[in-house]
Amino acid sequence: MFFVTSLIISNITAVKIVSYGKLVFPAAVLAYAVTFLFTDVYSEIWGKKEANTLVRIGFLCNILALVLIRFSIILRPASFYDQSSFVNILGGSTRIILASMTAYLISQHHDVWAFHFWRDKTGGKYLWIRNNASTIVSQFLDTSIFIFLAFYGNAPILTMIGSQYLIKVLIALCDTPFCYIFVKWCG
């Protein structure tokens, strides 16, 4: 539930670009970064097969959300309703959506694979290593693929990749205690 909620919210908020100082990144960075915590917790408790199933379910839920949002956009609005605000917020661009879904499938499946790779290498010990090692590399894949496909030619790509990746790495490092808490609580 939290995984899919974070995933769908990240796709809705990805169209907004924010900046703080020299950092420039999509507003979705926090909501999406949290999804990697959830796949790691899921991987730890239920295993690789189930975690990959979670990734596929998230993808299908994203498609369903996209279809329902697109359908609501094409419905004829009431004469007094300002449709442009609705479209601007929820419409997104096809390019951003396709970029998001491509990056999602590649990076989340890599995260599950890498988590179990590190689990095997550490003999099931050191959850913090597999949580961070899998997430940090997967986040780089996700960030690079998404930013390049979504914004190439329209935005400062390297600045956005660097900014978003920095934030995601900080989030990944900060989520480690939560990984332990959720694994203990859910496991």
pLDDT at 13: 86
Q: Angle, nearest 10°, between helix axes 127-151 and 94-121?
A: 160
Q: Angle, nearest 10°, between helix axes 48-74 and 94-121?
A: 170
Cβ neighbours of residue 176 closer than 8 Å, sequence gap 6 or more: 128, 131, 132
> In degrees rounded to 5, what are phi and psi of residue 47?
100, 175
pLDDT at 114: 98
Give the whole-angstrom CA distance, residue 136 versus residue 169: 6
pLDDT at 102: 96
Residues of the chain with pLDDT below 70 are: none
